[in-house]
Amino acid sequence: MSWISAMITSLTDPINSIFLSKVVYVARHMFQTNPDSRYTIDDIEKGERVEKEKNQKELWAQILDMKNNVRVITSSPTETSILKNLPEYQHVRKIGSGYFGNVHLMKSIEHPEKMVALKIISLEKSVTIIENEYCINRKLMSNEFIIKVFGMSNHSGNCYLTLEYADGGDLFDMTCGQKPMPSELGHHFFKQLLAGVKYMHSQGVVHRDLKPENLLVFKESATLKIADFGYAKYFLHEGNEVWFDEKQYGTKKYMAPEAYTELRYRGPPTDVFACGLVLVAILTSNLLWESAEKLDADYHSWLSGNSPDIEHWSSLDPGVVYLIRQMLQDNPDFRYKIDDIEKSDWMHMKRDQKKLWSQILDMKNKVTFTSSPTEVSIQKAKRKKMVNNSCVF
């Protein structure tokens, strides 16, 4: 589709037409010839352009649709020929795509039972990010809750990262549009996430992009592992803590509020804030807001102490609601630290082990990306139907 036809399509879409008309309204006021009538910065910020234009269901349906569409991007001829001629591995299929490149499932020729994920990143994207991801991942991968990276090489304008393969997909696939994760299983995975983050911080590293899409699940061992260290940074230098000043990092919906309001901010509390939002996604299959800014109506309501208007929130245990509140404190000085979370009542609640193992077995029986290409296509079709019918974001 040409850019002209794409533009026409977007303009004829009813939702986009309404949205664009509001943008045009604001733009007209920005370009007034009389400076006295021209919009000021405050007028623009208060305008309808920054208000929520779509409800949570529509927003997340679009995100899911985008994720599915991204995954079907075809590999370049050069990439395909390289995959066919790797000396140690046989190409099985493509399992994912993203802004930085494609991910392929590879099988060892010498040991066919051994599967790895090969991440192919164009060196045109960002050499610094690639090197940073590899070096930090290598440093941390001895921990059982951090994904392992086996090697990195450059060839034909691409960088190749060989990674541990997660047969259960990512946490996003297990939560969005599904019923909330059972409390025992959710508690089980959250403890593992917390252990992985605690280890990272002990090594002087902040992840800065913790979200369900970057948390991979290994079904056989019922283990969750942290992946994708492209935005990770060291926050300790020669024993001294380094503060950050970037106003944009990782994924906006999981960014901490201090990144918007402070000139400089500490790293570890931003990871804790993201973990709080991941816990909400695990237990409710929802997100609380689009961004942790006071201009966001949902976030402003949260700061006022109101309960979020999302499905399944009212059925949460009061102990976990209190914990989430402390992890999502607006002021990072008052926000729970990892040690505080570990000591919380909800983390120490006794769990029904029989229920947990029943839930783990149920998870193992679900179709994932280890299936055949035909089954994967069926799964994607079901997922699109799920978005249209029952996604409650």
Residues 142-152 have a mean pLDDT of 95
| Residue 221 confidence class, pLDDT cut points 50, 70, 90 | confident
d(CA 367, CA 378): 10
Q: CA 358 → CA 42, 222, 249, 259, 364, distances in Å?
A: 55, 12, 38, 41, 10
pLDDT tens by residue, 328-353: 999 999 999 999 999 999 999 888 78
Under 8 Å between Cβ of 29 and 43? yes
* β 101-108/89-98 pair status: antiparallel
Going by C-beta distance under 8 Å and a sequence separation of 6 or more, which residues neighbour residue 129? 100, 230, 231
pLDDT at 304: 94
pLDDT tens by residue, 161-216: 999 999 888 888 777 667 788 888 999 999 999 999 999 999 999 999 999 999 99
For residue 3, the Cα-to-chain-centroid distance in whole angstroms is 29
Please indicate whether residue 191 or residue 367 has the higher confidence score (pLDDT).
191
- Which CB contacts under 8 angstroms, 24+ apart, belong to 62-71? 63/393, 64/176, 64/177, 64/383, 64/384, 64/387, 64/391, 65/384, 65/387, 67/172, 67/213, 68/380, 68/383, 68/384, 70/97, 70/98, 71/96, 71/97, 71/380
Percent of the chain whose predicted confidence (pLDDT) is above 90: 43
For residue 273, the Cα-to-chain-centroid distance in whole angstroms is 13
DSSP conformation class of 100: T
- Residues with a catalytic annotation lie at 209
d(CA 258, CA 268): 12
d(CA 228, CA 190): 18
State pTM to two decimals. 0.73
Domain ranges of the chain: 1-39, 171-353
pLDDT tens by residue, 236-295: 998 899 999 988 888 999 999 999 988 999 999 999 999 999 999 999 999 999 999 989
Phi and psi angles of residue 75, each rounded to the nearest 5 degrees, phi first: -75, 150
Q: CA 389 → CA 144, 242, 257, 336, distances in Å?
A: 37, 46, 33, 37
Sole residue written with tokens 């901490």: 256
Under 8 Å between Cβ of 282 and 181? yes
Residue 26's H or E segment, with its range, is: helix 14-30
pLDDT at 54: 45
Across 102-106, 112-116, 259-263, 265-269, the highest mean pLDDT is recorded for: 265-269
pLDDT tens by residue, 76-95: 556 667 777 677 888 898 88
The CATH number, out of the four listed (1.20.1530.20, 3.10.580.10, 1.10.510.10, 1.10.287.130), of the domain defined by the range 171-353: 1.10.510.10
pLDDT tens by residue, 234-246: 999 988 999 999 8
Residue 2's H or E segment, with its range, is: none
d(CA 135, CA 234): 11
Q: How many CB atoms lie within 10 A of CB 201?
A: 19
Would you say 119 is a known binding-site residue? yes
